[in-house]
Amino acid sequence: MPSPRSRVGDHRVPTVRPDQIPLAVSTYLSTSTGLVDLFDNSRLLGDLVLWANLTQKPDDATSIVNFLVLAIGCQMDDEELAQDYFEYARDKAFSNLSGNLSVTAVQAFTLVTIYMLCSCQINGAFLFFGIAVRAAYSIGIHRTEVNARFGPDVHRQRDRLWKSLRVVDLFLSTSMGRPPATSDVDCTVPYHAAEDNTNDVPDLLHASVQIFLILEGVVTEIYSRRKISLQLTEGISLQLRDWSLRWLKPLKDVLADPTIHDQAQVSGACQILSTYYYAVMLVSRPFLMYELCQRLSDTSEPSPGRTAAPGKLRLADACVDAASLMVDPILDLIQRGALVGRVPILVSLVLGIGLLGGFGRILEKYTRMSIQALDHCSKHDTHARQYSLIAQSLLTTALESLEKRELQERMRRTESSSQLFGLIPCDADMVSMSPASQTNTHAPSPAPNPRSRESLDRSFLQHNGLQGMASPRFGDLDAAFLGISDSLLQTPDASYWGGNIGWEADSGSALNLFALLDAGGGIDLAHHL
């Protein structure tokens, strides 16, 4: 089998097969759309095919960029070849840094960053991206008046290159919790300027940069200062609502029918929607954690409306709802095969926390869906595998806590019903007396059998089908811990019934419910009440 490299001049240039170009370009666009917009995508495939058919590739910056595009596009199908392309292009990009900087140099190191992001080398991506940013500042890409000197087409390309840098920068800084490398202090490139579209597809780069700018404000105003208030949250929520009014429906329309849009548009729309939901979760997460701590610190059963003010509780609910809405489109696209495995989607573990805090058992379903999506991405992403293991552990802990809480409640209810009918059997030595004790009312009560509580617990577990559960925690629970006392063995007095109906009440005071059942609920109860 021939080596993927052939010696040309003093450099070993990787061999490029023209028949591999279409699939590689398609995968590259699916991976990068919504994150960067570096080229004229309508011409990218044709330009790469022409370049690949050259007998000897030119030793210039354009070849470096082309190799990096192919490296990103081949990661899914031929990782060894992709690494070969990447290492060659990265080394050439370094060697060209001593020359004049250009837009191509910024593109090259931005592509190096994306490749390393997709191969889970996030620290390396962070370092290489710093080179791309400094090169961009050096040639004035952050100033739209400088970009305008190169004509309309180059002006648009340079403006969009700066927006791409902002998106990648904020993606990296948010994911890693590090300060951004770019700033708008000296920037004049407009982020909200409308561009003429030739079709109904939304401008994904504009949608992406605008939501990431809001996300930057969340990180700066809340997490960097470690302070939050309802007033601050209200201002950020207004920005998110404005973004939602502008972009949410167009993006959802793209995801609603992936068959009429290309894979790159679908993947990019999913990436941007995930970022929007992540921004909602990030701004409301402190309120969710506050509510969770309140509920877990309370020994009684959680009461959603009792532990938090209405405004705080609504924000906690919004955090859980955003996480649920984030899972749906991702898993749907995975099941349709419309989402590539290496797309760097921001993820969260909010669902497991919501389940643990008692925000609804339906969250168990969404948590399992999120784990399924992470497992799909973990085929190519070690970070996704790590998140999946954390989510599984959190799900297990949440379910154990809910089962324990529900068992306690069930035992309390069983105590109440057992006073009526003696549902739970008990040891004979606990309820019977010797003949001497029956004749002598002043005889002391027998000492409690130390095994009585254990037998009572076991009978309850067997009655409810819990004795054979895999978790050993239920078998040795003390009855007092579960809320059961010796009152189970006592006969209830008349006050237990509420005082309205006594044991010797006449037939006229009783309420015949069988007539109500037979009549299908249509009986008049006025004269009974």
Average pLDDT, the chain: 78
CA distances from 274 to 116, 242, 265, 301 (A): 21, 17, 14, 33
Number of H helices, E strands in the chain: 19, 2
The pLDDT of residue 480 is 35
Q: Would you call 334 helix, strand, or coil by DSSP?
A: helix
* Lookup result for tokens 């309390």: 412
- Give the residue with greater pLDDT, 303 vs 474: 303
The pLDDT of residue 491 is 40
Measured at the CA of 373, the angle between CA 369 and CA 378, to 5 degrees, comes to: 140
Greatest mean pLDDT range, 140-149, 191-200, 471-480: 140-149
The pLDDT of residue 477 is 35
CA–CA gap between residue 96 and residue 187 (Å, rounded): 27
Residue 226 is encoded by which pair of tokens? 């470690």
The pLDDT of residue 348 is 65
The pLDDT of residue 284 is 92
Q: Would you call 476 helix, strand, or coil by DSSP?
A: coil
CA dihedral over 104, 107, 112, 115, signed as positive or negative: negative
pLDDT exceeds 70 at position 483: no
CA–CA gap between residue 312 and residue 307 (Å, rounded): 10
- Give the residue with greater pLDDT, 434 vs 52: 52
pLDDT exceeds 80 at position 199: no
CA dihedral over 165, 166, 167, 172, signed as positive or negative: positive
Residue 77's pLDDT band (cuts 50, 70, 90): confident
Greatest mean pLDDT range, 231-245, 303-317, 466-480: 231-245
pLDDT exceeds 70 at position 449: no
pLDDT, tens digit (0-9, with 9 covering 90-100), for 281-318: 999 999 998 888 888 886 544 444 444 567 888 999 99
Residue 472's pLDDT band (cuts 50, 70, 90): very low
The pLDDT of residue 341 is 60
Residue 238 is encoded by which pair of tokens? 């207004």
pLDDT, tens digit (0-9, with 9 covering 90-100), for 127-146: 999 999 999 999 999 999 99
Rounded mean pLDDT of 209-217?
95
The pLDDT of residue 281 is 93
pLDDT, tens digit (0-9, with 9 covering 90-100), for 102-116: 999 999 999 999 999
**DSSP secondary structure letters along 401-470:** HHHHHHHHHHHHHHHHHHHHH--S---HHHH---HHHHH-TTSPPPPPPTTHHHHHHHHHHHHTT-TT-S
Residue 401's pLDDT band (cuts 50, 70, 90): confident
b (16+ CB within 10 A) / e for 392-409: bebbeebbeeeeeeebbe
Rounded mean pLDDT of 336-351?
72
pLDDT exceeds 70 at position 255: yes
The pLDDT of residue 169 is 96
CA–CA gap between residue 366 and residue 394 (Å, rounded): 13
Rounded mean pLDDT of 419-428?
65
CA–CA gap between residue 171 and residue 426 (Å, rounded): 63
Rounded mean pLDDT of 315-339?
88
Rounded mean pLDDT of 376-405?
86
Query: Measuring CA to CA, which residue among 123, 124, 4 is closest to residue 67?
Result: 4
Residue 385 is encoded by which pair of tokens? 């595998």
Rounded mean pLDDT of 327-354?
78
CA–CA gap between residue 40 and residue 25 (Å, rounded): 12
